[in-house]
Amino acid sequence: MLKTFKALSLMSIVGATVNAQTLIDNFDGSSINVSNWTTSYRSYGNSAITLSSGIATIKNGAFITTVSNFSNPTINGRFSFSGWEYDRFQILFRSDGTRIDSQIPNNGIGVQITPSSNPDFGSSKTVQFFDFNTFTALAIAAPQINLNTFYDFKIIDDGNNIKVYITDMSSPLFTYSTFKTYGNKVQFGNREQAAGSWPPPYYLNIDSLSIIPEPSALSLLAVGLGVVLRRRRRTV
């Protein structure tokens, strides 16, 4: 009986922790899961987010923002560019979730990834760590990023040190230390297309995302389980 109670207690606490704080999305449905994300689009009318065969295609300045808050998360995902070489993939965390200015998010700390052929930044600045409020580049790396090629990425934020990985998950491209924060939302999207028939569309493809809770959440799980078990022992 006690073993069964322990198992059920652990399952309920784990379930509550996972449901409240861990987000895993493989985009297997036909539309964005609104329990995970809010969406935003440019006013030009050519922004879109579509799901097909487990791929979320984000077009022309569309963004997805987490419904839940994530403090000091570990973010994993896989992406590709299949549109124009001018595209920019933006990953914001420590954000309050507000939308963009004319082309880029304007609130949060985060990473911008561009193809190596991007004329604005070139092959020497394919991954940049930004304070998006000031659009100030705080750190820069230069992995090769080709169009029509999927790349894995990982970002680890421990509240101070932020580590950024592309493809090679064993060695970070860079580590940057900052306590600055604007909020606890996480956002993903691409730059907008200019109004009119030119330039060609920007297509960002994402086939998986996970946002894992900060380590302290696991400590809370253990503490919660201990409280439950202590209470149970007092009544048996």
The neighbouring-strand residues paired with 49 are: 58
- Delimit the domains of the chain by residue range: 22-215
Least confident piece of the model among 68-77, 168-177, 225-234: 225-234
Any idea which of 33-37, 63-67, 116-120, 188-192 has the lowest mean pLDDT? 188-192
Instruction: Round to whole Å and give the CA distance between 93 and 40.
Output: 16
Is 22-215 in CATH node 2.60.120.200?
Answer: yes
| pLDDT reported for residue 195 | 72
Share of the chain above pLDDT 90, in %: 64
List C-alpha distances in Å: 231 to 9, 150, 219, 222, 227: 11, 50, 19, 14, 6
Query: Beta-carbon neighbour count of residue 49 at 10 Å?
Result: 21
CA angle (96, 190, 165) in 5-degree steps: 80
φ, ψ for residue 123 (rounded to 5)? -75, -10
pLDDT digits (tens, 9 = 90+) for 58-110: 999 899 999 999 999 999 999 999 989 999 999 999 999 886 655 566 688 99
What mean pLDDT do residues 202-220 have?
80
- Its pTM stands at 0.82
